Amino acid sequence: MVDSFALGEEIATLATQVNCATHALLTRIRQFDHAEGWGEQGAKTCAHWLTWRIGLDPATAREKVRVARALGVLSKIDQAFADGKLSYAKVRALTRVTTPDTEENALMVAAAATGAQLERICRRLRHASDTEKEQGNERRFRGRVLGDGLVRLEIVVTSDEADLVVQAVERAQKQMAGEATPRPTAADGSMEVIGSYVAGRSSADESAAATAPSAEIVVHLEPAPTAAEPTLHANLEDGTPVSAETLRRVSCDSGLVAASLGEDGTVLDVGRRTRSIPPAIRRALWIRDRGCRFPGCASTRFLHGHHLHHWLHGGRTSLDNLLFLCSFHHRLVHEGGFTITMTADAQVLVTAPTGRPVSAEAPADIVDWTQSVWDDRGLPTMAPPDWDGEPFNYDDAVDGLWPPTSSPADTPARAA
C-alpha cells in the first residue's frame, strides 16, 4: 500500500529541488544575457537563443529572461528563491510588481499566501498601477492571452477617436447582418473592419511588388588616394563608404551597377546591370528552405538569397549555391565574422568568429559538470503558506505591497 504521506513529502522535497535548480538556471541566464553570450552564437536576443538551445516557446523564453533580470535587482527575493522558500510561480508574480523598496513586504505577503492568491494580489496591484497611468490620458494598445485560444485586445484612445472606431464597427455589423445568422456581434464587426483593411493593403502591396523594379545599387569605384599601390575603394551615390563585405551582402540578392570614376570625377565606365535571383530559382529556394537557414532562427519574412560563393567571385546563381537568410543573419555572415557553408545534402554548417561551431549540441571541450551539481546538501522541504483558511484580505495585501515612494511601473525589470 502506498504511504501517501511519505509520497507527499517526496513531492514537496523534489519541488524544492526543482525551484533551487530553477534559481540556478535563471542566475546563469542573467549572466549569459549580460555578457551577450547569445550574440556570440548568432542569436538575436537571449530569448531567441533559449527557444533554440533549450526548447522553450518564445513567450516562456521571454518570461525567463524578464524574471532573471528582475532577480538581479531584487536581492531579497533572489535569496529566498535560492534557499527554496519561494516557488518559481510566486517569484514570477512578485517580479512583475515589486521594487527594492517593497521587497520585505512582498516576502511577507508571499509567505502568507498560496500561489493562486499571490497571483491574484499581483494582478490587482498591476491593475491599480494601470488605472493610475490611465489618468494621464495615454493612448495605447495591448493584448493579453486568456487561454482556450482567446486573446483580449485593449485600446485606449481619445473620445473622438473612440467614436470613429464605434461608427466603423457598427457600420460593418449592419453590412454583415443581412448575410449572417445570428446577428453579428461587435467583435464580428471589429474583425470585419480589420480584415477588410488588411485585405486591401495586401492587394495593394502585391500589386506594387509586381510592377516595381528590383532594387538597384549604384557603387562608385574610385582610386584610393592614400594607398601605396593602385587600389580602388567603393562609395554609394551619397558618398557613404562601402566595405568589401557590405558590398557583397547588399548585392547578394539585388542588381548592381558598377560606375568607375576617374580622379577628376568623370565617369569612365558604367557596367551592365548584373542579374539578381530569378523568380523560378527563388521559388525553388523557398520550397527547400522555408525560412532563414541560420541555426536557431525561425524567421520567414524579410529573407535574402545569400550566395555561398559570391557571384562577384564567380559563384553561380543556382540552387546549390544559394540559401535564405534573414536580414539580421545575412549581416552577421557578411560583416559579423560568421562563416556559413552547405553540404551536398543541404545541411547548413555555421562557425562563429571564435571558431566554435554554432550547433544545438554542446561542444566536446565543454566539461560535463552535471553529475557534480547536486550534492547532498540537505535541501529543505518547501514550507506550506501560512494561510489559515480564512477569507483573504486582498485590499490589505495590495496596500502592503504598494511602494511608499514609487509605483510598480518603476520596477527595474525590463522586457526581454
Mean pLDDT of 356-377: 56
Percent with pLDDT over 90 in the chain: 16
With cut-offs at 50, 70 and 90, classify the pLDDT of residue 335.
confident
In whole angstroms, what separates CA 305 from the centre of its chain?
Answer: 23
Whether the pLDDT of residue 17 is over 90: the answer is: no
Mean pLDDT of 181-205: 69
Whether the pLDDT of residue 79 is over 70: the answer is: yes
With cut-offs at 50, 70 and 90, classify the pLDDT of residue 357.
confident
Q: How many CB atoms lie within 10 A of CB 316?
A: 12
Q: Which of 27-41, 222-236, 284-298 has the lowest mean pLDDT?
A: 222-236
Strands 216-223 and 255-261: parallel
- Counting Cβ atoms within 10 Å, is residue 23 exposed (0-12), middle (13-18) or buried (19+)? buried
Whether the pLDDT of residue 23 is over 50: the answer is: yes
Answering whether pTM is above 0.85, one says no
Q: Would you state the pLDDT for residue 88?
A: 93
Of residues 213 and 22, the one with the higher pLDDT is: 22
CA distance 63 to 3: 37
Whether the pLDDT of residue 377 is over 70: the answer is: no
- Strand, helix or coil for residue 309: coil
Whether the pLDDT of residue 189 is over 80: the answer is: no
* Contacts with 33 (C-beta within 8 Å, 6 or more apart), sequence order: 46, 65, 68, 69
With cut-offs at 50, 70 and 90, classify the pLDDT of residue 327.
confident
Mean pLDDT of 13-20: 88
pLDDT tens-place string over residues 99-111: 898 899 999 999 8
**Pick from 151, 135, 232: which is nearest to 190 by CA?**
151
Query: Which of 9-23, 76-90, 224-238 reaches the highest mean pLDDT?
Result: 76-90
pLDDT tens-place string over residues 224-254: 665 555 555 676 666 667 776 676 666 676 6
- Counting Cβ atoms within 10 Å, is residue 7 exposed (0-12), middle (13-18) or buried (19+)? exposed
Of residues 233 and 165, the one with the higher pLDDT is: 165
CA distance 105 to 128: 17
pLDDT tens-place string over residues 194-229: 767 765 655 555 444 444 444 556 666 666 665 555
Of residues 306 and 396, the one with the higher pLDDT is: 306
Mean pLDDT of 261-271: 57
Percent with pLDDT over 70 in the chain: 63
Average pLDDT, the chain: 75
Of residues 11 and 258, the one with the higher pLDDT is: 11
Whether the pLDDT of residue 277 is over 70: the answer is: yes
- Strand, helix or coil for residue 182: coil
CB 326 within 8 A of CB 43: no
The beta strands (E) that lie in 123-276 are given as 140-147, 150-156, 216-223, 232-236, 241-242, 255-261, 267-270
Q: Would you state the pLDDT for residue 27?
A: 95
